Amino acid sequence: MKLVLTEEQQFLKDTAQQFARDKTPVEHFRKLRDANDQQKWSQETWMEMVELGWSSILIPEEYGGSEFGVSGLCVVLQELGKTLTPSPLFATGVLGVSAINALGSDQQKKDLFKGILDGSLTTALAIDEKPHHKPFFNSTIAKKDGDKYVINGKKIFVIDGASASHIIVIARTSGNEDDIEGLTAFIIPSNLPGLKISTLSLADSRNYAAVELDNLEVLANSRLGQEGAASGALESILDLGRIAIASEMLGMTEEAFEITNNYLKERKQFGVLIGSFQALQHRAAKMFCEIELSKSAILAAMFAADSNSNDLRRLASLAKFQVGETLHEVSNESVQMHGGIGVTDEYDIGLYLKRARVTEQIFGSADFHQNRYADLSGF
């Protein structure tokens, strides 16, 4: 497997880089944060992304998408990660599209993809119920009642849940709360009675929500796929999400390192540049090597996704683990090398530390994926 981008992928990456630098620099994130914007992202910016075709990258051509592959979306998210760009691209363009594509009927795909293609429909995947990622633990119950379902339960840490027009809820229609089988997916308009969405305020100022379903009644046509058949597709949907969020994390890591490297070349102590201190050079060299290793892990994972490799699950966990560990180290080192100013809001580097600590937990921490990789490898 050649771990290099094609010309088309590189062009998409360059386009995303220019967009992020011109349209959504870190100041864009700061402006939304300081304005206490409940949506946490700009509708105008999102529509520009839609016009560039980013929301359609994973949508099959027969439904109007470009079907450019996971690699295409990953290089975009990597560049957006460098400027902490807030948008529903991950929750909608990756998780929502993947869930609809894997589970939806032909008519559902036609109807739902149309909204994603024109930017009017955004999604959020409501799956986790525990403080730590445990995808198949599910105590949210959906009971069939004639031509409808009644759903009760709670979901936490729902990415973009506070702004999504539709929530994709994973509920249990049979079995016990720890069973892998018996899960069903529903796509539900967020304004339905019985669906309570509460904004969560976390350190990184991203859009998160808690979702409570209290005797929520939905029609049977809200169900994605067959009853009890979501479990098989769920792991693949999550793995695509893990690769995509790891790509965003890689972009954050690269930018944090770049900011710090520039600081080492500018900051003077005792009359000399601190970048001339050998101890700091060694630490910077270690970060550089870990970032290069992380790039290879991401490339291997996203190419495996596009080729439907049997190694997809292992490589998805490897990418999330490697990038998670690297981002943790680089964000720590970056703040330390800046000294006390690194934790002040005036300097951007502290924003990357905050985003790192939260994003590391999305769909499994480094520990989760280290154990998963070992299990999948037969250890």
With b meaning 16 or more CB within 10 Å and e meaning fewer, what string describes 281-312?
eebbeebeebbeebbebbbbbbbbbeeeeeeb
Residue 235 has what pLDDT?
95
Confidence of residue 3 (pLDDT cuts 50, 70, 90): confident
CA 180 to chain centre: 23
Query: What average pLDDT does the segment 298-307 reach?
Result: 97
Residue 198 has what pLDDT?
96
The pLDDT of residue 62 is above 90: yes
Query: What average pLDDT does the segment 303-318 reach?
Result: 96
Spatial contact of 183 and 138, defined as CB atoms under 8 Å apart: yes
CA 3 to chain centre: 22
Share of the chain above pLDDT 70, in %: 99
Spatial contact of 7 and 14, defined as CB atoms under 8 Å apart: no
Q: Which amino acid is at 286?
A: K
Query: What average pLDDT does the segment 190-207 reach?
Result: 95
The pLDDT of residue 233 is above 80: yes
Residue 158, token pair as written in the block? 């729902």
Confidence of residue 252 (pLDDT cuts 50, 70, 90): very high
Cα angle 214, 37, 254 (rounded to 5 degrees) comes to 105
pLDDT in tens, 325-344: 999 999 999 999 999 899 99
DSSP conformational letter for 52: T
Confidence of residue 80 (pLDDT cuts 50, 70, 90): very high
Closest alpha carbon to 91 in 211, 245, 321, 320? 245
The pLDDT of residue 1 is above 80: no
DSSP conformational letter for 95: I
Q: Whole-model pTM above 0.75?
A: yes
**Please, what are the domains in the chain?**
7-122 (1.10.540.10), 125-226 (2.40.110.10), 231-376 (1.20.140.10)
Alpha carbons 171 and 185: distance in angstroms, whole number: 6
Query: What average pLDDT does the segment 133-149 reach?
Result: 95
Contacts of 105 (CB under 8 A, 6+ apart): 225
Concatenate the DSSP letters of all residues of 268-322 into one string.
EETTEEGGG-HHHHHHHHHHHHHHHHHHHHHHHHHHHHHTT-TTHHHHHHHHHHH
Residue 276 has what pLDDT?
86
Q: Which amino acid is at 262?
A: N
Query: What average pLDDT does the segment 95-118 reach?
Result: 97
Polymer length in residues for the chain: 379
Residue 321, token pair as written in the block? 């683990």
The pLDDT of residue 131 is above 70: yes
Confidence of residue 74 (pLDDT cuts 50, 70, 90): very high
What does the CA dihedral 35, 41, 47, 48 come to, rounded to 10 degrees? Answer: 80
Query: What average pLDDT does the segment 268-273 reach?
Result: 88
Confidence of residue 295 (pLDDT cuts 50, 70, 90): very high
| Burial class of 100 by CB neighbour count within 10 A (0 to 12, 13 to 18, 19+) | buried
Q: Which amino acid is at 90?
A: F
Query: What average pLDDT does the segment 171-192 reach?
Result: 96
Inter-axis angle of helices 230-266 and 278-306, to 10 degrees?
Answer: 150
**Residue 36 dihedral angles phi and psi, to the nearest 5°:** 60, 35
Residue 268 has what pLDDT?
87
Alpha carbons 152 and 215: distance in angstroms, whole number: 5
Alpha carbons 287 and 330: distance in angstroms, whole number: 6
Query: What average pLDDT does the segment 239-249 reach?
Result: 98
Query: What average pLDDT does the segment 67-96 reach?
Result: 98
Helices in 24-64 by DSSP H: which ranges? Answer: 26-34, 43-51
